[in-house]
Amino acid sequence: MDTRLVTVFGGSGFLGRHTVRALARAGWRIKVATRHPNRAFFLRPLGTVGQIDFVKCDVSDAEAVAAAVAGSNAVINLTGILFEKGQSFEDVQAEGAAHIAQAAAAAGATALVHVSAIGADAESNADYAVTKAKGEQNVRETFPNAVILRPSIIFGPEDGFFNKFAEMARFFPALPLVGGGKTRFQPVFVGDVAQAIVTVLTSETARGRTFELGGPSVYSFKELLQLILRETGRSRALIPLPFGIAALNAVFLQLLPNPILTVDQVRLLKHDNIVSPTAAGLADLGITPTSVEAVIPSYLWRYRSKGEYADSQARKENAPAR
């Protein structure tokens, strides 16, 4: 096993578990910094004995961040939130990013990878986008050679997009098309993002650069919902919902413990979430992007009314008599 040590903030999340697996396979020793270490112990079997360790840390606490980074050769920041419940965008995505970059610089780390998001924009009216942009700026000011990765929506077995709408389709007769469903996305496979993180961690040519990560195809919001319905074998009405009405509904929906929609998310949906034509991306890192269609059947089957073998059962029922 390699003697290199990397501290991963946000390692117990969706992207985190895939990143930790990729790092373990690449031979890194890994320290997972998380607010709740007991919830991250499921990561331990991804490596060999002693390869993955855990430390309690809240990124809003600069001293705790510094302690978590101490002795590390590299640092990865995967922290981020989709809505504010107990934590604010500012604390996690802006100040938290600053604390991590400062600690990495002070510890003499040779590499810092900061995962942001396509759409990070200091001029946006969405707090999520503004704080993502602030986080990038804070990282660049403190650790100029940091690599910033900006993925579009990330998909994979535990994702919060395809699973969310597939679950909604189980219980609701219709799904909302916010803004008419015209917003465009370029979903990127979580395994490809994890591989990009591991690649740039030791790449001299990637130092100080920003990469936008997207899959091989661009879809409208409506097309993605249609894909989910087709894959889960469900027929649901897709109802256009103007941004104004969606924002009004979100005022109340965002009060739920796990909000279906927030006002901030409605603001984000007014802008496409795709890779810029001039941006460096997966191809520049030698990674061939994986398509949505190649992966989602492996986990959306659980939302079919008859489960994993619904298709084969339907074929048997419709087969001509011999």
Does the residue 163 lie in any domain?
Answer: no
The confidence score (pLDDT) of residue 320 equals 41
Does the residue 307 lie in any domain?
Answer: no
Does the residue 125 lie in any domain?
Answer: yes
CB 227 within 8 A of CB 236: no
Here the tokens at position 270 are 């007014």
Alpha-carbon distance of 68 to 57, in angstroms, equals: 7
The confidence score (pLDDT) of residue 260 equals 87
Does the residue 240 lie in any domain?
Answer: no
- How many CA atoms within 13 Å lie on the side-chain side of 65? 24
306: pLDDT confidence band, cut at 50, 70 and 90? confident
**Mean of all residue pLDDT scores within the chain:** 93
CATH of the domain at 211: 3.40.50.720
The confidence score (pLDDT) of residue 316 equals 44
Does the residue 29 lie in any domain?
Answer: yes
The domain in which residue 92 lies consists of 5-156+186-215+273-287
For residues 9-16, give the mean pLDDT. 95
